[in-house]
Chain A
């Protein structure tokens, strides 16, 4: 593992009186895949949304390739062009064709020409085998296809880090596989990813390290083998016992 790309230091976040993140610290290295696991409501989504400044943090610091993102003059719109995020609910733009969904941000945020942006979009769609669906609209695709388009829409910005927020949770079980396959391929190719997930076998396969969040606290972060086979914390052991029983 080489340089730290994204470093979260003592992140705290409150929604009103409720403390959803308490002093969470986590480093993500270049080409590394870290899976965030934990029960629903443990703060995984909030941590991801804080990491690309969709939510303001109440304490701590985020640094991205050595630059503090809480410093004065940081432009969150520019930060988000380097830290991509994909959501549970796809959120494709229903009024745009599949290719235009992918090409919109490169054109309108990066100022790429229409041709360049479209060519990039078609090449990316080719990678996921959907080039012949380029001019269809999102609702004409299956859920799994929509989520894969959402992933390459984020990749079209060529981000340094990709955050994935339970991207298979809204999918029919038969469609989960194709999305996880795409993520596995990205991991093999060295995409730096922080993945919130409930899919333990997937985490075991692709993650370099796994982190457990519980009630807004980072309980344990460890290399994948150690996390699953020799967890240090009692909370982790209980969590693993619960999820493997199913």
Chain B
């Protein structure tokens, strides 16, 4: 029997945290953190308001009346609605996201093909991702938007700018997403492939039923990251004369000499990207805890 056991409970150490710590860690901590956040926000707003040009900033960027006018538009004055323009950003993002997920997957699987017949596709996939990841997206937009119509290729050359914009965004983002898939495929342990092949599955079946399902689960968070970037980059389609939210805000600014439209456009983008970002983060942390649970 150890000596400390014989001494009994009279010498038991004090194991409770101090009263002060308990209060700090309790509900009061929530109140304090909310209060300090509010204080910082107020100080930032006062700084903007009290700056020498504060009056002008309020008028040019934050006038509620102007913001509303920019949001709903005014056809009689030829003012395009930022809200309507944002609808263009939204549908373009959704359409492109679907074609990007498919295109990226095709590129990634082509890269992992072992069949000698598919060698040209494997090489083309590598060249493609290198090329499109390496050029600014705005140049791709201009090249497709003005290049394809100029080539006089029948139906391919007589589409609306929105179609060219979607093609350009898909071309570039497929390259990014292909790399994400590739990382996911590489992260699947070789053992899994060996197990699948040892059961007599063909390479294609092993890829489709064993590797890809695991790879896609691995990369949902980074795929959502690219989705958020794509959503923002739809603002670039204005270079093709498409009136999206940012272009509508620009038009509003040049007609009224007021920039509230830009603020409205920014808020609309944030209204979509912030929830998406929060969702992505929660998926990442869930995924992390799931993996940690695996190893224990």
A residues engaging B (CB < 8 A)?
52, 54, 77-78, 80-81, 84-85, 87, 89, 91-95, 104-105, 108-110, 139, 153-154, 157
Known pairs A95-B213, A95-B217; A109 contacts B205 (CB<8 A)? yes
Q: Which residues of B contact A153 (CB under 8 A)?
A: 199
Cβ–Cβ contact B200 & A109, under 8 A? yes
B198 beta carbon closer than 8 Å to chain A: yes
When the two chains form their complex, are residues B214 and A87 in contact, meaning their CB atoms are under 8 A apart? no
- State the Cβ distance, B260 to closest chain A Cβ, in Å: 50
**Which residue of the partner chain B has the closest CB to A92?**
B195
Identify A80's interface contact among B192, B200, B209, B217, CB under 8 A.
B200
For chain B, the bracket of interface size reads 10 to 19
C-alpha spacing A89/B194, complex, angstroms:
12
* Given A95-B217, A105-B201, A139-B294, 6 extra CB contacts under 8 A: A77-B200, A94-B214, A105-B199, A108-B209, A153-B199, A154-B199
CB atoms of B200 and A87 under 8 A apart: no
Decide: B194 and A104 in contact? CB cutoff 8 A: no
Q: Which of B195, B198, B200, B205 contacts A93 (CB 8 A)?
A: B195
Q: In whole Å, how far is B166's beta carbon from the nearest beta carbon of chain A?
A: 32
CB distance from B295 to the nearest CB of A (A): 10
Given A95-B217, A104-B209, A108-B209 in contact, is the A157-B199 Cβ separation under 8 Å? Answer: yes
Chain B CB within 10 A, most for which of A95, A104, A153, A154: A95
* Cβ of B106 to closest chain A Cβ, rounded Å: 21
Among A91, A153, A157, the one with the most B-chain Cβ atoms within 10 Å of its Cβ is A91
Contact A80 B197 (CB under 8 A): yes
Please give, as numbers and ranges, the residues of chain A lying within 8 Å of B194 by CB-CB distance.
54, 87, 91
Residue of B nearest to A150 (CB): B195
In the complex, which residue of chain B has the Cβ closest to the Cβ of A54? B198
Residues of B participating in the A interface, judged by any CB pair closer than 8 Å? 191-192, 194-202, 205, 209-210, 213-214, 217, 294
Q: Shortest Cβ distance from B281 into chain A, in angstroms?
A: 23
Residues of chain B lying within 8 A (CB to CB) of residue A77: 197, 200-202
**Alpha-carbon gap, A77 to B114, bound state (A):** 15
**18 pairs, A vs B, C-beta closer than 8 Å:** A54-B194, A54-B198, A80-B197, A80-B198, A80-B200, A84-B198, A85-B198, A87-B194, A87-B195, A89-B191, A91-B191, A104-B199, A104-B209, A105-B196, A105-B200, A108-B205, A109-B202, A109-B205
Residues of chain A lying within 8 A (CB to CB) of residue B205: 108-109
Chain B residues near A85 (CB-CB < 8 A): 198
Which residues of A sit under 8 angstroms from B198, Cβ to Cβ?
52, 54, 80, 84-85, 87
Give the complex CA separation of A139 and B214 in angstroms: 14
**Which residue of chain B is the closest to A163 with respect to CB atoms?**
B198
The interface residues of chain B lying within 8 Å CB-to-CB of A93 are 192, 195-196, 210, 214
- Chain B residues within an 8 Å CB radius of A80: 197-200
Q: With a CB–CB cut-off of 8 A, which chain A residues contact B202?
A: 77, 109
The minimal Cβ–Cβ distance linking A77 to chain B, given in whole angstroms, is 5
Q: Which one of A89, A108, A153 has the greatest number of beta carbons of chain B within 10 Å?
A: A108
With A94-B214, A95-B213, A139-B294 known to touch, is A108 a contact of B201 (CB < 8 Å)?
yes
Residues on A with C-beta less than 8 A from B213 are 95
Residues from chain B with Cβ under 8 Å of A157 in the complex: 199-200
CB distance from A56 to the nearest CB of B (A): 14
**A107 smallest CB distance to B (angstroms):** 9
A109 to chain B: which residues have CB within 8 Å? 199-202, 205
Check A78–B195 contact: CB distance below 8 A. Answer: no
Minimal beta-carbon separation of B203 from chain A (angstroms): 8
By a CB distance below 8 angstroms, the chain A residues around B191 are: 87, 89, 91
